[in-house]
Structure 1
């Protein structure tokens, strides 16, 4: 996103703040105006607040400057990492400091006993880096593949396995912090502590005073100890005053779970925990939820890693999904399950754990014999039941309704009783579709339901449900109103109810000691507004069936190629929903403002790669929506151009090749420097109409003759060279100067395949190019033409079909009727050619990039395995997802490609000689930004193979 300039509508205090930060921050990291602030300000909760200013900070020093400016101007500040929090703690209508994309430092200490992590690191990435040492971080939230360390620590996130023993509070060793006045503190550094003590002696003295007063109150001390024996993230971590005596230790542990209201966490150092290599799981089905809860209570005294409770509604919501056990169907209405996992360092230890678990629950009567599964593919199927629960409700909810996950905690001996009461209350208040599941070992249950915040009656039902649940959990069971999702705005009005006036007064005192003017995330954890949880509810209007299921969780953001340059899938959907509301209200000015900005930030820079659907809990494919949006936004002139292209595809392909020939001729004449200067100058003059040129731009494809071949083996293949293969050849810098057609034919010949080509080759197209520009009608027509030609050539599917471009093959599989054996190069070579080839790996280090379409087809492992057969060392750079070239989009929006591949060069070893993929346009961007030439995987196989095999 670019900086839209000073917003004259800012209140005076925010104008002062803006002027101060603009003096030291670049303009492109300060965002004003409703379009940008709405997009960046949204999170996974069911609340909506729009910041006045969003600032992207990159390091601790910048945050200190920002906080000093905020303190001077008296404006409040909220920090945001991944925005996956559920209770409204990452929202503000003031200043939002956006950390995602930065603060990604991670340092593993000697022996991996500790790890120091900055707040912008995704939790799963930390575990990936620790895995070679057999270690991991303690917290294991369900959102660990998307949430970031800043949020994990600030919310004291836990999860299915860490319980209360390995959460952030219990495993934190030290932190680097920045306070509201800009003062920095490294709690592990004596010099930093001494400096801080001089500046903030009052804060440390107040913490010591609160410690002593709590210690003098035996009843409160005992209450704090008892309440933190179970999961509890309601309010502040008062257990810090009981567990520690030294003020710096108290301060450190108070910051855990403080949700950005006390200080900014610039780095957290955790004590790591063991990641046991041997695991086994059992789905224990019982006649009633009481029996299931009794089983969990019995298992709690064992070293059981997890025991996940699921009620009958939970099981019903997933029983029809692929891979679910048949035993789920036909269960009685009262049935329930506990999914149990045990872990050990070795196989004998695992068997002992299993035997102990089975012995402990032997007095109960399960519906089916209990069985532990220790093969990963088997126990992963069981855990897919648990992972699919949230998805099942979120995806099936009524369009326009929200999906809410509340989590409460009961003493484990009251878990069954409390769970049944929650079930009753959901039905009583009109949410019979709700499900209940949770971490039974900790007495922590989640209940999921779907109110419609556009319906006043549903809003009232939601309020009554929350009132009844809070009164029941606190009044009847003395449980926790929040076990792991944080207090946020959602439970802020009920903190005093749970803790009582005395404890609540201590919480207010410690907040004043850290943040005297209430500038850090006000309204979160503590509030003077008893109805704050019912205000600013997020609207979710209908837009399109393609995106209406979106729950705005943000899981898609870390995989999106445009996340650091324009918008993410979640942000695009948020903007679309705002435009739908503006249109419904008849607010043309508001709609037009957002619609104009959306064309670049939401539409043109969407790669439409569809990888977002692969990590989305409800499988929303924003790429498909973007293509549909382009169809709806297409002008009549654009449609005419699309029809002409479809009618003259052979001519268009030939002209493209001629253009590439001319471009290469000019390059040879002028040289690289002059060519770069000239083309970039022309781009500027033409306002982006001239394609972006790099030294890796392709030459024209060598002329190919599509004549059948015969090798007499009886093995046949129909080969459909894609339009990019027919028009784009190698670049001048590529090591193999043959066209892809020639390299493919070489492999097919070595493997003894007779090659058949469909008739009318030069006019055939899968339709992808047209579809990506919103020309769905013309794309469909070309797809049908190609399908008919392939059916004729393959004897109606008898002969396998090879397309040499993965994106085209994916499109063909998506749109063509069943019956054709459609394959892209990795698949065809692996399944059909390798038996007839002798492979000698090349003695080189090569890089691999699996294109988005191959990922969606499920070829990642096969792609890597094929490369490893053909090269001595294969590198697959981590966290390089979609390259952002997106067909021809990289020629006209190169910033998308540059942002998506910004880290590629640094992730390739210096010994890397070449790279391989399976999409010609992707290879252009990969070569330029990776610094090594990328070509089709076909070239690598051809280099490493000779005729042979069976």
Structure 2
């Protein structure tokens, strides 16, 4: 049961790696032990370490990779985002990961259809469809992170789509690659005709299987009844009774096949309406039975979603922002339903609310139903519900693994089934288990924790799962897997649910489409009755900063180094393994050496991962802590000298950058990239003599040192321009004393020198308190990264404003926009601005100043990370790899609120990026 088990075969993976290396460049072929370990983790409670991780960027590469794996008889597993919960995307053989080039989106028929490549994140598809008031049907809780390829392969559903709007029901066509390397596009008549000619025998057998199934009344009825409720156990046998054309049968079999029958290269969905008018209510019932009885009646009312949360689930989130105070301290047994209703108009929404309240009047609730149609209010409730699984996992005992299962029963059986399930929790000692889920479809999830390092605990888990399966199947004829896919943990139980005849049919389909059994073996079907007990993933203690992580992967989309080295999830996985080995007396020198670069040097420590993490884990804090532990006495001494002589240190840093640029130009060497024409230092700002409202202005050390942006029409640095702009708006600017020596501490914190960082913050705090008359005068900081730290650490008497919010809230209203910039302007929301939720104000500022504002797609954290753009330029290159293609040729330039970020953005875009203050000053004049 070792999570780090070796492959069960003696295949020559070294030779295979050589052949695969002829298909993709070296950076997309991964074999080092740290990254293979990292890719051996998904959101499930299994771990298998692949021998080879290969990133494919095209259909041609997928076909070539499959050919080499067939020749080597090496199993291959496909992976999209790795957010699946049942072990579908891990392997001890070859892991084929989607590379960068699978992000194609094409909207068709005025938004009624959308063509998507498998690397598109579900929420991105919906963002593109928003202008048409449409969305895709599947709506899993992981939609902000899950990719279309995985959503289709797992037939993911979610809170609203039920059985009517999932991938199976809304798919219009598919591009797919079979195990033999054949590519067919079912939306292209010529491709289909060629496929019918080349694979006539295969299609004839599919047609025969479909006909035989439809001609078997008992089996056909069994299949229809099984799919009348949510069901992802086994293969989509409903394809055999729903369709006669073998092409349709084939494509619908691939939905929910979890990569065991073929590769989904593209899918076209029929979209569904996204109603603009919504309202939600959190309802509290005295017990779970009463809540489930209400669900049965709500099923016939105008509700779009009904989510159940039992008392332990409520307890795990009752302290989250946005949760109603009424849920705190309620009695044991109290159960919540989170209900949503939608309509095309405000009048329709009001009518729906009245109808739902009428239904609820027949049931006992602790408080009268109170619906809210305010997006900021119900949005918090749904965000918490979507993050409930990771949030519950975060409160587990350190060292235990969190397990989630999902089952479905018929709605009339829901109340009793939940009581029976709770009885099983008690029988097997899972006192911490919680229940939540999509009650409107009879689909509930239950979560519990387990220590897989103890044999007796594994045996307890095995006995519990046996009892759960018999309960769901024997008593309720329900689904053992409702939406998470069969995976590895239910593969041994498929025959228990489906019976021998239907399971034999599934095996026949598997062997027809994958004769060698090389596509994701052990997933969906497995003859080993104990397969679900192998390769269980432990989550050993690593550091209190990250021990609550359950490796769900929600963070990965936010990380600038994901795909270059490691993501936040993978950094935690790697450090857990190093810590585990260290606890056993193994210092793991090879992993540590790899981790120095992959885990520490290439981490931007931007903190954006915390904004996507349901429990707010900021992996960058671990990175900075580990950097601090690695510091040598000499490095610590140098840091102290810099802190004590900060002005001199900044001059030295600038001189070093200039020297490096010159050396690079002279030698053609590989000195870290410096902006093509490093700007001259900023002039010391001079306080203006204007009268009016005072503001304390503290320019960041970067803005004091680096000056104006190269290539920009402006020659003055940010402090000069900001001062002039503030004066134009009628402010009297006050500067703190000894400004050259002041630093917020961010530069030291990022190196792990927390004591020096705090000392510099304290020094700045004293200066700002003096300059602001003990907090009477507001303080303006012109770099968002510094503002974020100041807001976090400074005396609460100080009112610290970022330049974005101050310019938006205080300066813009005092100016008259003379003439908007006619050329497109680019806007970048840097990490700290995002963390302070300033995107809206930044965008509003730009839109007030320019006719066309462009926020480049696919650009998050720029990866410059203070000085990383100089010392580790590949991080900046990777983070901004999509920027050049998103820049309009006629763009005037770009704007942000972090000087170092602007250097990297300028370099990669070919357009000058600078502070948004320049744009506002250029187009605005003081109101008379």
- SS at 1:719 equivalent: strand
How many Å separate the matches in 2 of 1:57 and 1:592?
31
Deviation at residue 627 of structure 1 after TM alignment: 0.8
C-alpha contact 1:318 1:385 (8 A) present in aligned 2: yes
How many Å separate the matches in 1 of 2:15 and 2:333?
61
C-alpha contact 1:138 1:166 (8 A) present in aligned 2: yes
C-alpha contact 1:436 1:448 (8 A) present in aligned 2: yes
C-alpha contact 1:658 1:700 (8 A) present in aligned 2: no
Which residue number corresponds to residue 934 of structure 1?
913
Change (3 A) 1:234 1:903: same
C-alpha RMSD of matched pairs (Å):
2.0
State yes or no: 1:693 paired with 2:693: no
Change (3 A) 1:175 1:857: same
Deviation at residue 60 of structure 1 after TM alignment: 0.8
State yes or no: 1:151 paired with 2:150: yes
How many Å separate the matches in 1 of 2:914 and 2:347?
48
TM-superposition CA deviations, 1:226-262 (whole Å, max 9, x none): 1100000000011111111221111111110000000
Deviation at residue 326 of structure 1 after TM alignment: 2.1
Deviation at residue 679 of structure 1 after TM alignment: 6.0
How many Å separate the matches in 1 of 2:244 and 2:177?
22
Which residue number corresponds to residue 670 of structure 1?
none
Change (3 A) 1:523 1:564: same
- The 5 A counterparts of 1:314-393 are 314-393=313-392
How many Å separate the matches in 2 of 1:692 and 1:833?
36
- The 5 A counterparts of 1:773-792 are 773-792=751-770
- SS at 1:180 equivalent: coil
How many Å separate the matches in 1 of 2:187 and 2:734?
70
Which residue number corresponds to residue 401 of structure 2?
402
Which residue number corresponds to residue 82 of structure 2?
83
State yes or no: 1:704 paired with 2:692: no
How many Å separate the matches in 2 of 1:384 and 1:18?
42
- SS at 2:406 equivalent: strand
Q: Which moved more, 1:562-571 or 1:7-16?
A: 7-16
- SS at 2:323 equivalent: coil
Extract unaligned runs of 5+ from structure 2: 1-5
TM-superposition CA deviations, 1:361-402 (whole Å, max 9, x none): 332232222233223223224324523532431221111222
TM-superposition CA deviations, 1:45-77 (whole Å, max 9, x none): 111101111111011111111111111211111
How many Å separate the matches in 2 of 1:660 and 1:27?
31
C-alpha contact 2:858 2:883 (8 A) present in aligned 1: no
- SS at 1:142 equivalent: coil
C-alpha contact 2:39 2:90 (8 A) present in aligned 1: no
- SS at 1:177 equivalent: strand
Q: Which moved more, 1:332-341 or 1:625-634?
A: 332-341
Change (3 A) 1:642 1:489: same
- The 5 A counterparts of 1:534-613 are 534-588=533-587, 591-613=588-610
Extract unaligned runs of 5+ from structure 1: 1-6, 667-674, 684-689
C-alpha contact 1:262 1:514 (8 A) present in aligned 2: yes
Deviation at residue 303 of structure 1 after TM alignment: 4.3
Which residue number corresponds to residue 810 of structure 2?
832
- The 5 A counterparts of 1:37-76 are 37-76=36-75
- The 5 A counterparts of 1:451-530 are 451-530=450-529
Which residue number corresponds to residue 280 of structure 2?
281
Which residue number corresponds to residue 666 of structure 2?
678
Deviation at residue 12 of structure 1 after TM alignment: 4.2
- SS at 1:173 equivalent: strand
Deviation at residue 655 of structure 1 after TM alignment: 2.8
Deviation at residue 348 of structure 1 after TM alignment: 2.6
C-alpha contact 1:680 1:692 (8 A) present in aligned 2: no
How many Å separate the matches in 2 of 1:9 and 1:264?
24
Deviation at residue 357 of structure 1 after TM alignment: 2.3
How many Å separate the matches in 2 of 1:517 and 1:783?
63
How many Å separate the matches in 2 of 1:229 and 1:186?
29
Match of 1:627 among 613, 624, 627: 624
C-alpha contact 2:675 2:710 (8 A) present in aligned 1: no
Aligned length: 922
- SS at 2:159 equivalent: coil
State yes or no: 1:721 paired with 2:696: no
C-alpha contact 1:923 1:934 (8 A) present in aligned 2: yes
Deviation at residue 217 of structure 1 after TM alignment: 2.4
State yes or no: 1:878 paired with 2:877: no
Q: Which moved more, 1:411-420 or 1:811-820?
A: 811-820
How many Å separate the matches in 2 of 1:679 and 1:140?
55
- SS at 2:252 equivalent: helix
Change (3 A) 1:459 1:729: same
- SS at 1:700 equivalent: coil
Change (3 A) 1:385 1:179: closer
TM-superposition CA deviations, 1:537-573 (whole Å, max 9, x none): 1121111111111111111111111113211111111
How many Å separate the matches in 2 of 1:249 and 1:709?
74
Deviation at residue 748 of structure 1 after TM alignment: 1.8
Which residue number corresponds to residue 850 of structure 1?
829
How many Å separate the matches in 1 of 2:765 and 2:306?
51
- SS at 1:494 equivalent: helix
Deviation at residue 79 of structure 1 after TM alignment: 0.3
How many Å separate the matches in 1 of 2:811 and 2:57?
50
Change (3 A) 1:902 1:698: same
How many Å separate the matches in 1 of 2:391 and 2:874?
37
- SS at 1:447 equivalent: strand
Deviation at residue 932 of structure 1 after TM alignment: 0.8
- SS at 1:225 equivalent: helix
Deviation at residue 705 of structure 1 after TM alignment: 4.7
Which residue number corresponds to residue 3 of structure 2?
none
Match of 2:614 among 609, 613, 617: 617
Which residue number corresponds to residue 25 of structure 1?
24
- SS at 1:744 equivalent: helix
Deviation at residue 338 of structure 1 after TM alignment: 1.7
How many Å separate the matches in 1 of 2:260 and 2:252?
13
How many Å separate the matches in 2 of 1:109 and 1:732?
42
State yes or no: 1:106 paired with 2:105: yes
TM-superposition CA deviations, 1:823-842 (whole Å, max 9, x none): 12112222333343333333
TM-superposition CA deviations, 1:731-756 (whole Å, max 9, x none): 44121110111101101211222222
Which residue number corresponds to residue 756 of structure 1?
734
TM-superposition CA deviations, 1:19-59 (whole Å, max 9, x none): 33233322222122322211223211111101111111011
State yes or no: 1:771 paired with 2:749: yes
Which residue number corresponds to residue 672 of structure 1?
none
How many Å separate the matches in 1 of 2:101 and 2:730?
52
State yes or no: 1:891 paired with 2:879: no
Q: Which moved more, 1:388-397 or 1:418-427?
A: 388-397
Match of 1:642 among 639, 652, 659: 639
TM-superposition CA deviations, 1:174-224 (whole Å, max 9, x none): 111111111111223333233323333332232223223322322221111
Deviation at residue 658 of structure 1 after TM alignment: 4.5
Which residue number corresponds to residue 898 of structure 2?
919
Q: Which moved more, 1:573-582 or 1:205-214?
A: 205-214
TM-superposition CA deviations, 1:788-823 (whole Å, max 9, x none): 111122222121111211111111222223221111
Which residue number corresponds to residue 262 of structure 2?
263
- The 5 A counterparts of 1:148-297 are 148-297=147-296
C-alpha contact 1:75 1:519 (8 A) present in aligned 2: yes
C-alpha contact 1:917 1:934 (8 A) present in aligned 2: yes
- SS at 2:450 equivalent: coil
Deviation at residue 100 of structure 1 after TM alignment: 4.5
How many Å separate the matches in 2 of 1:463 and 1:229?
29
Q: Which moved more, 1:23-32 or 1:141-150?
A: 23-32
C-alpha contact 1:679 1:692 (8 A) present in aligned 2: no
